[in-house]
A and B are shown apart, each in its own frame.
Chain A
């Protein structure tokens, strides 16, 4: 089995609080030793990290892929390459493909394609309901047995309260999380951006922040009623963050995530109908953005996910109302998240926790930490290297990034999955 020693690395492990320069040894896809006093074993291939950061591989709990059905947007292979380039060693894929992943065959297809790509670890959510239509429950038990990492209708909210109640109850039997797109669908219907002065000036239908707040409030009642495990995806409002904070305080089994656009951008970035800044939920105000940063810092927001949503040119070079929502994010997750560290909002280990250990824990995966016997999934990055994001150079098939041309600090240098180097820059 290959034996590798990553020397002179700044070992960063949120699980243990380790932050020290040392060596990490991998053998047979596992971490076999790590620490300041560890010497490279005889015969090991030496990778001199020259003081770069070495963290657990990033775990991205929210990624949309176009395969099956919309391979022009993104295939499992292209998403794997993009993930590897972004320092992501494992991601969870939404079921909003064509067809929707609501049966075992869909899960098996994804698993096979992931094996063929053989780059990063790919997990798949099963749909909560047939066709993610929000009506009848999908075969959640069979899907769980076949490896579904959790359940979600992905980009669609589960709008019907009774369906949500039953999903939360039923998933308890399999100890799986229900991931909600928290947006009351009738209230958000037809909306294109945050409702307010800017939407009025641009003449675009607004989505009131109440759409998120109402859905979270309802869902939290249902969590209290059922005792189910609930995860709110991509929070966009200050009130949403506060609701989760309160719910955790009350001891409910709830977690949540946010995506970089929601702490790096606001509705102002839509400017003159910039479709790359069209997201679902929509970008909100600076007050929301600040509340989200505070939520990440104090741990109310458990995880940062890319919310990768690839769209080709045809879906974005259209009038704003006709444009598909969502942005690519696999290759910008780490540098944009690192802005929070560089600006002093959060410590480095805490930030890495949101990107590694916390999402792994929510999904019940034994990943996201540097420990002897654990998988050798590693991200090696230069914490300070300045560079300019260039969407044209993305490995992703789609280039719809609102961060194109943004100057950032912090770059992925190497990505390692099960001891194999899957990306090197």
Chain B
């Protein structure tokens, strides 16, 4: 029995599903059917992850290398767990002790790792397009775990799963993405995903934190919270990094919170059953008030963390199916 047959026996993909992507670099360009396929599969993994025995053998024998050039606790842990729960060998490169600091180029590092025959490289990098650069050169699957201010596809997928499980749908919902849109890969991936799925997407930010021509990406643009949050179903807050709050983009954290922080009072403009999301880590008192963040009726923040593992399992599993087709 070969590995593929074994995998298929244990957890068949939905009938007729042919996943077209070997790499997962961004949501832009994905179809609604592809996005739904990931979410459907992830729903199954949510159940698997809630069992006492969480491990399947679908990726048994495969090797996943996490290559994080930027610090991240939750995303790296989430990918590690996702790989292990599918039975893969998972290895996380600690960039601080690696040859990267000795001047080796990104590409050399990746090619060196590629020579050890991993099946997946999970890459986070501070520069937009870095995973694409690697994907062009290596023969394993590259999964983008966040690149610069470009995309963070698994974050958008876990956000979508969190919304869909509570609201039962994505289509027709109004979602306000609030905060540092300019520097946010999370915002970009969510704009692509939610727009493709038929949601109405708003962005709400001070003008200095809005990227040029953002309206061309199919969103409605607001610069004040009162209008931006009016009658929305979902409020998605973004993190504002501290170095951007001290005069470069906004004058101060205090002023930012005064106009753009999410308080219970501001949230009252949204629909009564509106839900609050945050990709973490939160700056309490800067972009979000603790009272809102910790309200389990309104906050999806812990759901997002939980479903992140399931969504990453689905991404790995689907990319593996593409690898299998290439091999067969």
Which positions in A face B, CB cutoff 8 Å?
A: 195-197, 199-204, 206, 208, 272-273, 314, 317-322
Confirm or deny: B28 has a beta carbon within 8 angstroms of a beta carbon on chain A. Answer: yes
List 12 contacting pairs A-B, 8 Å CB cutoff, sorted by A: A195-B212, A196-B212, A200-B188, A200-B212, A201-B188, A203-B128, A203-B129, A203-B188, A273-B129, A319-B106, A320-B127, A321-B148
Which of B105, B127, B132, B214 gathers the greatest number of chain A CB atoms within 10 Å?
B127
Q: A199 vs B151: C-alpha distance in the bound complex, in angstroms? A: 13
Q: A202 vs B158: C-alpha distance in the bound complex, in angstroms? A: 21
Those 3 A-B pairs whose CB atoms lie nearest each other, nearest first: A203-B150, A273-B129, A319-B127
User: Looking across the interface, which residue of chain B has its beta carbon closest to that of A200?
Assistant: B211
Given A272-B129, A272-B132, A318 and B107 touching (CB < 8 A)? yes
Interface majority SS (helix, strand, loop, mixed), chain B: mixed
B95 to chain A, nearest CB (A): 15
Which positions in B face A, CB cutoff 8 Å?
A: 28, 105-107, 125, 127-130, 132-133, 147-151, 185, 188, 211-214, 216-217
Contacts of A272 in B (CB 8 A): 129, 132
A276 to chain B, nearest CB (A): 13
Q: A320 vs B106: C-alpha distance in the bound complex, in angstroms? A: 12
Q: Is the CB of A200 within 8 A of B214?
A: yes
Q: Is the CB of B151 within 8 A of A203?
A: yes
Q: A197 vs B150: C-alpha distance in the bound complex, in angstroms? A: 13
B214 to chain A, nearest CB (A): 6
Contacts of A319 in B (CB 8 A): 106, 125, 127-130, 133, 148
Contacts of B105 in A (CB 8 A): 314, 317-318
Q: A423 vs B275: C-alpha distance in the bound complex, in angstroms? A: 71
B318 to chain A, nearest CB (A): 21
Contacts of B185 in A (CB 8 A): 203
Q: Is the CB of B213 within 8 A of A322?
A: no
Contacts of A200 in B (CB 8 A): 188, 211-214, 216-217
Contacts of B125 in A (CB 8 A): 319
User: Looking across the interface, which residue of chain B has its beta carbon closest to that of A314?
Assistant: B105
Q: A149 vs B188: C-alpha distance in the bound complex, in angstroms? A: 49
Contacts of A208 in B (CB 8 A): 212
B149 contacts which of A195, A203, A314 (Cβ < 8 Å)? Answer: A203
Q: A314 vs B107: C-alpha distance in the bound complex, in angstroms? A: 10
Contacts of B149 in A (CB 8 A): 203-204
Q: Is the CB of B212 within 8 A of A206?
A: yes
Q: Is the CB of A320 within 8 A of B212?
A: no
Contacts of A322 in B (CB 8 A): 127
Given A195-B212, A201-B188, A272-B132, A317 and B107 touching (CB < 8 A)? yes
